[in-house]
Structure 1
Amino acid sequence: MNHSDLIIYIFEMIGTVAFASSGALVGIRKNMDIFGVNVLGITTAVGGGCIRDIILGITPPKMFQNFSYVGASILISCILFTIFYLNQELLSSRFLETYERVMISLDAIGLGVFTVMGIRTAIEASFENNIFLLIFVGAVTGIGGGMLRDVMAGMTPFVFVKHVYAIASILGAVCYIILRLYIRDTISLFLSAAVVIIIRLLAAHFRWNLPRIRQK
């Protein structure tokens, strides 16, 4: 593994840990057992990438080719479950007050990382000239795991009801596609992921929402 590949791997693991943490926290808040917490952690972390690989014709999906991502998801899910199991007072109202802020931060990091990594995977699969596909798989990789997590937890997917989520992913995807034409790939990866994260956090802070019809 060369220096560039190591940077990319670390980048992916940061996204994996962030998304696995968000999935595990949803499972904990929903009073799931350790198996359920792990399933949500794994699904959130690798679900979007699995959908991406199926779309791109990569079989078996990369989650089955490299166990480290699933392994990291299991590890972080078990750590979080153990922390809350041994300190159940953390599930008090004070925890619920900080829960949404933590979830937004973790989701923003995972969304940024996996959006650009989804596009990079599509480019490596020789689809670099299909701009629509690049943007689509970037967004799917970023939001797919979270959507599966929310459905499995019995919630309306976050992407459909809360602030600017998918739009942040799409804007970051477009940013990466443009930047990689002019600057080094690793730099464009970090900058584009940062764009997604910043837009997502600003949207949450200022409560930017897409228009929707509210029932009276």
Structure 2
Amino acid sequence: MDTFILIINLVGTVAFAVSGALTGLRKNMDVFGVCILGLTTAVGGGVIRDVILGLTPPATFRDPTCAALALVTSAIIFLPQIRRLLMHNPDRYNLLMLWMDSLGLGAFSVVGVQIAYQHVTSPTLFLLVFVGVVTGVGGGVLRDLMACDMPYIFVRHVYATASLAGALTCALLWYPAGSVAAMLAGIALVVVIRCLSAHFRWNLPRAKEL
């Protein structure tokens, strides 16, 4: 189980670091800005989660493995060859951004549920889902605020709703199906919802439409 959680954490870290670094490239940031944006996206949600659960100092500062991985990933994205490959093709950029954001969102949404189960005695369903969603979307919100964008979760393709669905599925299946199956099901549901919403242009109703 520990190995499985580690793999999920590493996958989510790389995915969100790529997402943050791509945003930094789009904003024409220097290498420091790209790396900080990738780092913040990758670990921001986990830091917020740990503060909510009273786990201080947050895991990122007790074991900097994920932070180091996020910085290395972001630096790789900044390499000239990689920049040219990604930034000169808008379709390739958008597709990679979608997949990385979706994979990171799914991974961290279920990791949040797992951490809550691990550290809270008899957690409520609301707490499990809330912590899962915060872990999933927190880094992306910080990324968008630092890049001076409207947070992605409020305007694009049922982003937070996908995280909520994945976290809820994971929490409900935790005991009936087992933790591994519950986490895989949650991740899969998040990715499927995100990809379908991007393909079919699904969005929640907006104020001007009402």
Question: TM-score under structure 1 normalisation?
Answer: 0.92
CA distance in 2, matches of 1:78, 1:96: 21
Aligned length: 209
Conserved? CA contact 2:86–2:92, under 8 Å: no
CA distances 1:4-37 after superposition (whole Å, capped 9, x unpaired)? 2112101110010000000011111111111101
The CA distance in 2 between the partners of 1:158 and 1:152, in whole Å, is: 12
Conserved in 2, the CA contact under 8 Å of 1:43 and 1:145? yes
**C-alpha displacement of 1:136:** 0.7
Deviations 1:149-188 (A, max 9, x none): 0110110011000011111111111111111121221121
Structure 2 stretches of 5 or more lacking a match? none
Q: Unmatched 5+ residue regions in structure 1?
A: none
What secondary structure does 2:207 align onto? coil
Q: CA deviation at 1:104?
A: 1.0
Whether 2:152 is the aligned partner of 1:155: answer no
Corresponding residue to 1:73 among 65, 70, 74: 70
1:30 aligned residue: 27
Match of 1:108 in 2: 102
The one of 15, 18, 21 equivalent to 1:18 is 15
Tell me which moved more, 123-132 or 17-26.
123-132
Query: Are 1:176 and 2:173 matched, yes or no?
Result: no
- Runs of 4+, deviation exceeding 3 Å: 86-92
In the alignment, structure 1 residue 50 sits paired with structure 2 residue 47:
yes
SS at match of 1:59: coil
**Residue identity matched to 1:171:** A
Q: How far is 1:131 from its partner?
A: 1.4
Matched, 1:99 2:99: no
Amino acid at match of 1:31: N
Select the residue among 132, 135, 143 that pairs with 2:137.
143
What percent identity do the matched residue pairs reach?
A: 47
1:164 partner letter:
V
Letter in 2 for 1:155: D
Give the letter aligned to residue 154 of structure 1.
Answer: C
Is the alpha carbon distance of 1:134 and 1:91 closer, same or farther for their aligned partners in structure 2, counting shifts above 3 Å?
closer
**Alpha-carbon distance between aligned partners in 2 of 1:124 and 1:210, rounded to the nearest angstrom:** 33
Give the distance between the partners of 2:135 and 2:82, measured in 1 at CA.
34
Conservation of the 8 A alpha-carbon contact between 1:171 and 1:196: yes
The match for 1:214 is 208
Mapped partners of 2:122, 2:16: distance in 1: 26
Q: Indicate conservation of the 8 Å contact 1:19/1:44, yes or no.
A: yes
| Per-residue deviation, residues 22-75 of structure 1 (Å, max 9, x unmatched) | 001111111111110110000000000000000000000010011110010011
Q: 1:36 to 1:127 in 2, by over 3 A?
A: farther
- 1:126 counterpart residue number: 120
Residue 61 in structure 1 maps to residue 58 in structure 2? yes
Kept in 2, the 8 Å contact 1:122–1:128? The answer is: no
> How far apart, CA to CA, are the structure 2 residues paired with 1:198 and 1:127?
32
